[in-house]
Chain A
Amino acid sequence: MRALCWEGVGKLTVRDVPEPQIRAEGDIIVRVRASSVCGSDLHLINGYLPAMRKGDILGHEFMGEVMETGPGVRRHRVGDRVVVGSVVACGGCWYCRTEQYSLCDNSNPQPVFTEKLWGHSPAGILGYSHAAGGYSGSHAEYIRVPFGDIGAFAVPDGVPDDSVVFASDAMPTGWMAADFCGLSGGEVVAVWGAGGVGQMAARSAQLLGAERVIMIDRFPDRLKTATERIGVETINYAETDVLEALRELTAGRGPDACIEAVGMESHDVGPTYAYDRVKQAARLQTDRPTSVRQAIMACRKGGTVSIVGVYAGLVDKFPLGAAMNKALVLRMGQMHAQRYIPMLLDRLAAGEIDPGYLATHPLSLEQGAQGYELFEKKEDGCLRSVLHP
């Protein structure tokens, strides 16, 4: 089969690779119909997330059709149209039992690296480096999905592939970001990053009761899309002082909750950003926490900062004093896909959320490298490239 492989920092190539096989009773093989690029893939491609190996197949946000099932699979049959959560969960450990699927104890077969780096190993993730288990990804014609009964979900009829593909990752990540905020109705929520996850977080915050959502980014086309599609207020940080603008927009209080949907390669203007770039390039810090710093500084006293942008290791100049003395609640994590996907599919079918507009660039697998370039450089109004192998 054909697959988009990582060949070194910044290099992607389509190669002929062997087809995946059923390896365990609960496995399913899915023929990939749509596989989206994701901002966290950029961290892998650019060498910021560790443990990539030449030849690894990328891709973790996808949907498709069941082609083969292991003998232990009960919920799916050949031909089912399914969306698959990118986080792999066994369904049998304490974390899965308590619906904290991204912390599954048993789904990362290579846990030593993350145990040394983070103290414990969270769940494995499809197509997400050897730190996350070394699973093959979805930018391929076929993919093996372990624990198929737990991780794959039948898709409602009538919802197009290029919408439902985002129920794999961007939608549950966005929903979890808003869920972390503990909204009860009437809050002001600020969202850093107007990419796919940020826009889904903004829409989720609205559905969970936020009265106002303010999005922060520097790309006018993304901010315009967010305004038109979701009805949010926007701040362009390249033109405006974000902290001052947020204080003014909330009459001095600050947002009740701040969602960070940017991650370790966040961008800013000014000398602090230059300092972060130098430190990251010299490997003196792994991540650039610009937007996390802003979120903590902007958040109202006693508010919540919700972090779903991906971070890998160490950051510098983390404003712990602000977080402590303002009594902030900090919540963060990889999304618990399996907890949220069924509910999100219902909302998709009901038309409450429609992420289809994120798929600005439907491309073939052979155009995968081009898709990532468009996505990384934010060219041609690219919100997401979606590959159709």
Chain B
Amino acid sequence: MLTDAHLKYESQKLAMNYFRVALVLFGAQLVMGLIVAIQFVYPGFLFEIFDFSVARMVHINALVVWMLFAMIGSVYYMIPDETGEEAVGIKLGKLAFWVLTAAITVVVLVFIFVQVGSGSEASIWFINEGREYLEAPRWADIGIVAVILVFYYNVFATYIKGKRTGIMTVMVANLFALAGLYLCGMFFTDNISMDQYWWWWVIHLWVEATWEVFVGTLAAYALIKIIGAKREIVEMWLWIEVLMLFGSGILGLGHHYFWIGTPEYWWEIGALFSALEPVPLVAMFVHVLYDWGKEQGHAEAKGDAKVINNTPAMAWIVANAFGNFLGAGIWGFFHTLPQVNIYTHGTQFTAAHGHLSFFGAYATILIAMMYLAVQGAYGIKRMTMTFKTKMSLFLTIFGVLGMAVALTIAGYEQVLVERADLGGGWDAFFTAQNLPWYIQAQGWRLVMGIVTFAGFVYLAWDLLTIGAVESAQEESEGAAAAATA
């Protein structure tokens, strides 16, 4: 990640910058997560210095922002490969990168240094907009929209100018929806139910519709690059996935409308479409494994045992196929139906699902894209896993799975004690949090959080060094082969 010497296009060099910042923000997200995890076990930790509410907010916002940086980076990286063209407004794109990075830095610093205070029109504009997950103050909101407009102009105009592949067609249409939905979180209404109604358009229609389609698009592109999958097959899968993801995901929105004061017909709509939401995840899971197996078979038939030209990226894509199904599918289906959700809503079940699905569905594929970019940046023909790659894979997957299991146990205890037994009142909330099962589960979550952080250290170390190591090895192998010949 330290060089982009072999990249021909400025767009791909810009992508490397996005990936670098994404990696830093990923680290920041995990540090904040560790602080929050410690505060669950030792509530006095950093009390009135760095409060739980602030650390949790920065933890979640850093997650969203590092993923957005990595997503933008991924698109800038794939644009020249897909369209055959340099991004048309690359200078604007570079300016937008620095503006966005500076704005994010200022927003995070304000979050950290101005933790407490009264809410006013000025605080909404300059400190914190107050809406969960989208806390960025209004000036930053408007700035983000401006930057995204520049980004979208670059993607759309390059697409119109160059080759219009199926992958880019889906990407362009999906990005339009993804960017447009952000606007739904930028206005307030006096009625809290109506306000939440629109807020969920951003949150749900991002993570359970447009982001999932984005993942499908990246997986399609990556499978062509990594294993040489046939474009026509991959694009056909992609269209089917888009159909299923939007078919179930858009009205799956109803599972967020169960308890916010919307009409009761949302219960039925939410239940039905949520129950169908895992189906495209099964299709995505099958798609990756089927394409891999088929291309491996073709390669072996031709006498070439190695079909994968980037094993770290492929390993993360396979992790994505499993993780998406496990985190978003199984952990989501656990508590998506209203009869169960009334008991699980807002317990640690939600946190378990959130951790496993964001990691499984999104972090994994974005990390795969980073490895793909490193391969391009160092001009490596065939990149293989190092010890650090294996350690980062093992520790992060084991850590996140461990956190999800621990949080599920905590959530299960809350469902039984706080909701089913004690009726879900104020006292019940605290009684459930003081029982040994909950406390021990939070302790294990902290341990697994540390394991995840160790995995991240290996990941960052690997991304910074694997390019140089692998290109040196390839050069020495090439020299040895030339000497033998």
Q: Do A and B bind each other?
A: no
B residues with a Cβ closer than 8 A to A are none
